[in-house]
């Protein structure tokens, strides 16, 4: 009987307030944060996907580019310059769309591009034309693989010294 009363007093005076304190300071905020994090995790991908659908950036289809704003510009590019154009366009944050010309025999690509800033487009065009001029003049560094192939051919063509193996018998 005495033990029961003591257990009840300890329970009422110590354990219940301690448990309430722990729940209010640690448990409840943690549960609330976990619920908010789960809610945000569910909403975030949907927001990101809808933003990308509404406002695509960088490379896109011609239809998306023309829907986005007015004032698209075009330029014809051969296959060698397409990769350089993409790099420069990404560098300046210019939206672009690539369309392959089907009926022209040496493959040509028509690139539609636009940007909010006129300066970005001017820099893009200037840098691209400068790079193409370097390629035409041959000032671009030669390909390492081509250089390696040339060296292999030279090694194959060079005469080799015949090696004779002679065994000497020592007595």
For residue range 73-119, list pLDDT tens digits in order.
888 887 777 888 888 888 888 888 888 887 877 788 888 888 878 88
In terms of C-beta density within 10 A (0-12 exposed, 13-18 middle, 19 or more buried), how is residue 123 classed?
middle
For residue range 119-167, list pLDDT tens digits in order.
888 888 889 888 888 877 777 677 888 899 999 999 888 887 777 888 8
- Supply the pLDDT for residue 6: 59
Residues 136 and 111: their CA atoms lie apart, in Å, by 20
Compute how many other C-beta atoms are within 10 angstroms of the C-beta atom of residue 115.
20
Topology of domain 62-142 in CATH is Ribosomal Protein S8; Chain: A, domain 1 (3.30.1370)
For residue range 87-99, list pLDDT tens digits in order.
888 888 888 888 8
Pull the structure tokens for residue 14: 């110590």
The dihedrals phi and psi of 90, each to the nearest 5 degrees, come to -65, -35
Pull the structure tokens for residue 108: 């040509």
Count, residues in the chain: 171
Query: pTM for this structure?
Result: 0.48
């Amino acid at each position: 009987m005495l033990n029961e009363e003591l257990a009840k007093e300890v329970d009422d005076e110590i354990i219940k307030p301690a448990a309430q304190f722990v729940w209010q300071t640690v448990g409840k905020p943690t549960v609330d944060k976990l619920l908010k994090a789960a809610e945000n995790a569910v909403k975030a991908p949907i927001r990101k996907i809808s933003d990308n659908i509404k406002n695509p950036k960088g490379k896109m289809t011609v239809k998306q580019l023309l829907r986005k704003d007015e004032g698209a510009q075009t330029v014809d590019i051969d296959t060698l310059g397409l990769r350089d154009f993409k790099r420069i366009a990404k560098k300046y944050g210019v939206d672009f769309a690539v369309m392959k010309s089907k009926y022209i025999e040496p493959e040509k690509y028509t690139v539609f591009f636009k940007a909010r800033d006129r300066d970005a487009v001017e820099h893009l065009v200037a840098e691209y034309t400068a790079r193409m001029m370097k390629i035409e003049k041959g000032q671009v560094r030669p390909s390492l693989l081509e250089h390696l192939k040339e060296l292999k051919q030279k090694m194959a063509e060079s005469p080799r010294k015949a090696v004779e193996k002679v065994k000497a018998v020592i007595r």
